[in-house]
């Protein structure tokens, strides 16, 4: 048993080395597959962050009448935060609104002067509401349009932003769906290309497999070295793809960051180093050894 | 050797499809240590008999008994073990092109799980016997046809099989190499193996003077103890 196993491993390495060109070509294809899959993982991370960043920018504000009591506003804030759809309801008092406004316009002396001229704070207190899912703003807005609240609420910003929000929701949805479909299609293509490459490599060994059967080799003894070869392909392609991907990520990270400031690809890559590397290896090894297994199986029927 | 390692074909019929019958109701027995030639035109069924013995094909009807095996009933998983009883030699040599001469022969021992020490000892001995001890590390593509066939014979005999089946072993060889191969087969026969030689080489058959089974259109038309090469009735 042990003898057979060590021979299988020996022949796996031997075939791998002796068929140098075939091995190189096969590794190149698996490398491309893994590279594409790695790219898809990163693409999905970037897309997710981008989508989240867009979603984060969507919010609605409720402005309160200038005579509305702060207690009532805080009570409403509490009840809003109690809603499962609401992620955050931030209270911005009239004073805070004014300081923020002044800070924003500090380079605009006319506006600052105009406010000082006015003598009183013209801004309204508001609640800035963020939902977990932008689709829920309509419901939240409906909740706020309740009769009992009409005495304190001046206006809800949803009405004026409704079109923009709905359009953003559609874009986000399309991006999510598109990402999934794209990932799926590219992954399938990559897997099929690899499978076919390995199948062709083993097709060239069709006669040898038949001869081994006739000499009395058991199926496992014939199959074993091909699977070892497949594992070697997977390991080498995985390491290679990772080794090339790492500097590439470092190179493109600043460009991605300029589009989506929330993401630091290099940090993400560094933080998930082991996870990404093991994905590559596990996927590479599984893909090539299963392909080998299936491909050899066809020729074992002698 | 006991009576069980006779080879018995009982009423064997083999049809590949409705329109072609490769063998029709063929029966014969081959005794231990016999050297039997099977002759006939192309398509007469010689190769089918070889394939039935190596269990590459199953008969449509009839029984094949060899050793303790009822060959026609062998399950797929039993084939490897059964085939280790048989050495096979083919016209196209069928060597493993990715392996050296040494490894090709060693493979036949490795499939049985024989220890490396035995392999290192036996393989050079056999290569010496077929006169190829200086080509041990060569690959098949570096060998001539005659040399390849001698490697194939060395592989067929390395685990001392009870029967060696040779399907047109000299078909691709020049007359000199042809006789070298036939002499090796005769030597193996003297060492105790059954030899089944399928050929259409008239000269070989007439010189050997052993038993000859003649096939025509899938039927045995002649089975003589000291046969000659005559293809017609």
Would the CB atoms of A208 and B98 count as touching at under 8 Å? yes
| Tokens matching residue A61 | 């504000």
Does any domain span residue A261?
Answer: yes
- Name chain B contacts of A218, Cβ cutoff 8 Å: 80, 111
Which residues, including other chains, have CB under 8 Å from residue A286's CB and lie 6 or more apart? A234
Asked if the model's pLDDT at residue A225 lies above 50, the reply is yes
User: Phi/psi at A239 (nearest 5 deg)?
Assistant: -65, -45
> Does residue A40 share a domain with residue A181?
yes
Q: Which two tokens stand for residue A36?
A: 């594409």
The predicted model gives A201-224 an average pLDDT of: 92
Confidence tier at B2 by pLDDT (50, 70, 90): very low
Q: Looking at the structure, tell me whether residues A32 and A100 fall in a common domain.
A: no
Domain finish residue from A158, A183, A218: A158
pLDDT per position as a tens digit, A53-106: 877 778 888 888 888 888 888 888 888 888 888 888 888 888 888 888 888 888
> Which residues of A fall within a CB distance of 8 Å from B116?
3
User: pLDDT: is B233 or B42 the higher one?
Assistant: B42
Chain A partners of B115 at a C-beta cutoff of 8 Å? 3
Across the interface, whether the CB atoms of A215 and B155 are under 8 A apart is answered yes
- Enumerate chain A positions whose Cβ falls within 8 A of a Cβ in B: 1, 3-4, 7, 15, 18-19, 205, 207-208, 211-219, 221, 302
Closest CA to B195 of B176, B179, B214, B182: B182
Buried b (16+ CB within 10 A) or exposed e, A274-302: eebbebbbebbbebbbbbbeebbeebbeb
Whether residue A36 is predicted with pLDDT greater than 80 in this model: the reply is yes
pLDDT tens digits for range B81-91: 999 999 999 99
Chain A residues with beta carbon closer than 8 angstroms to that of B113: 1, 3-4
Residues with Cβ within 8 Å of B115's Cβ and at least 6 positions away in sequence, in order, are A3
pLDDT value at position A173?
Answer: 85
Residues A47 and A64 in one domain: no
Strands B69-70 and B7-17: unpaired
pLDDT digits (tens, 9 = 90+) for B94-108: 999 999 999 999 999
Residue A152 lies in a domain: yes
Nearest to A3 among B54, B82, B115 (CB): B115
Give the mean pLDDT of A16-30.
92
Q: Which domains does chain B have, with CATH numbers?
A: 1-85+161-233 (3.40.50.300), 96-159 (no CATH)
Q: pLDDT-derived band of residue B233, with 50, 70 and 90 as boundaries?
A: low
Domains: count for chain A: 2
Considering the domain architecture, whether residues A128 and A176 belong to the same structural domain is answered as no
Q: Of A158, A182, A202, at which residue does a domain stop?
A: A158
pLDDT in tens, B24-39: 999 999 999 999 999 9
How many other C-beta atoms can be found within 10 angstroms of the C-beta atom of residue B64?
A: 21
Residue B123 pLDDT more than 90?
Answer: yes
Contact: B83, A15; criterion CB under 8 Å? no
3-state secondary structure of B158: coil
Which helix (H) or strand (E) covers residue B195, if one does? strand B194-198
Q: DSSP state, B192?
A: T
Range of the domain at A185: 2-54+170-299
**To the nearest whole angstrom, how far is the Cα of A246 from the nearest Cα of chain B?**
37
| Residue A108 confidence (pLDDT) | 84
Q: Is residue A164 part of a domain?
A: no
| pLDDT > 60? residue B1 | no
Domain shared by A64 and A132, yes or no: yes
Tell whether A148 and A175 lie within a shared domain.
Answer: no
Q: Are residues A145 and A207 in the same domain?
A: no
Mean pLDDT over each residue of chain B, to the nearest integer: 91
The distance in angstroms from the start CA to the end CA of chain B is: 35
Do A207 and A282 share a structural domain? Answer: yes
Q: Which whole number is the average pLDDT over A230-254? A: 92
Residue A119 has pLDDT above 80, yes or no: no
pLDDT category of residue B4 using cuts at 50, 70 and 90? low
Highest mean pLDDT range out of A110-124, A166-180, A226-240, B213-227? A226-240
Say whether both A25 and A6 belong to one domain.
Answer: yes
How far apart are the C-alpha atoms of B170 and B172, rounded to whole Å? 6
Of A132, A158, A184, the residue at which a domain comes to its end is A158
* Yes or no, beta carbons of B107 and A216 under 8 Å apart: no
Higher pLDDT, B198 or A145: B198
Chain B nearest C-alpha distance from A197 (Å): 19
């Amino acid at each position: 048993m042990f003898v057979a196993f060590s021979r299988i491993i020996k022949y796996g390495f031997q075939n791998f080395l002796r068929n140098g060109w075939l091995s190189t070509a096969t590794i190149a294809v698996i490398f491309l597959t893994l590279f594409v899959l790695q790219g898809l993982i990163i693409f999905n991370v970037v897309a997710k962050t981008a989508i989240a960043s867009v979603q984060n920018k969507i919010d609605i504000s409720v402005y309160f009448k200038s005579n509305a009591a702060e207690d009532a506003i805080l009570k409403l804030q509490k009840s809003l935060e109690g809603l499962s759809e609401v992620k955050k309801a931030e209270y911005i008092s009239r004073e805070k609104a004014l300081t923020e406004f002044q800070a924003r316009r500090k380079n605009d002396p006319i506006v600052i002067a105009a406010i000082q001229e006015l003598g009183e704070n013209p801004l309204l207190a508001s609640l800035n509401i963020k939902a977990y899912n932008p689709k829920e703003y309509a419901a939240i807005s409906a909740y706020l349009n309740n009769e009992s609240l009409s005495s304190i609420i001046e206006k809800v910003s949803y009405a004026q932003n409704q079109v923009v929000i709905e359009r953003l929701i559609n874009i986000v949805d399309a991006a999510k769906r598109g990402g999934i479909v794209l990932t799926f299609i590219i992954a399938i293509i990559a897997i099929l290309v690899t499978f076919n490459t390995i199948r062709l490599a083993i097709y060239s060994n069709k006669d040898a497999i038949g001869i081994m059967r006739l000499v009395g080799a058991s199926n496992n003894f014939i199959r074993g070295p091909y699977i070892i070869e497949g594992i070697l392909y997977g390991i080498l392609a995985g390491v290679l793809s990772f080794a090339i991907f790492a500097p590439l990520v470092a190179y493109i990270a600043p460009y991605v960051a300029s589009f989506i400031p929330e993401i630091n690809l290099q940090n993400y890559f560094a933080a998930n180093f082991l996870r990404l590397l093991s994905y590559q290896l596990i996927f590479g090894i599984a893909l090539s050894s299963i392909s080998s297994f299936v491909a050899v199986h066809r020729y074992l029927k002698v | 050797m006991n009576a069980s390692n006779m080879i018995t074909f009982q009423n064997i019929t083999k049809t590949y499809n409705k329109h072609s019958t490769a063998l029709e109701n063929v029966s014969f027995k081959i005794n231990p240590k016999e050297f039997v030639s099977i002759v006939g035109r192309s398509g007469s069924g010689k190769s089918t008999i070889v394939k039935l013995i190596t269990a590459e094909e199953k008969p449509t009807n009839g029984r094949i008994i060899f050793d303790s095996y009822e060959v026609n009933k062998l399950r797929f998983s039993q084939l490897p073990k059964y085939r280790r009883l048989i050495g096979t030699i083919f016209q196209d040599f069928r060597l493993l092109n990715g392996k050296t001469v040494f490894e090709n022969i060693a493979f036949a021992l490795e499939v049985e799980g024989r220890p490396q020490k035995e392999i290192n000892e036996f393989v050079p001995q056999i290569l010496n016997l077929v006169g190829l001890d200086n080509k041990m590390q060569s690959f098949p593509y570096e060998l001539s046809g005659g040399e390849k066939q001698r490697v194939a014979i060395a592989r067929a005999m390395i685990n001392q099989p009870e029967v060696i089946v040779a399907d047109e072993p000299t078909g691709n060889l020049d007359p000199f190499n042809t006789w070298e191969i036939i002499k090796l087969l005769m030597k193996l026969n003297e060492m105790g193996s059954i030899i089944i030689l399928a050929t259409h080489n008239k000269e070989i058959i007439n010189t050997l003077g052993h038993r000859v089974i003649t096939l025509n259109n899938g039927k045995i038309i002649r089975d003589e103890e000291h046969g000659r090469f005559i293809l017609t009735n």
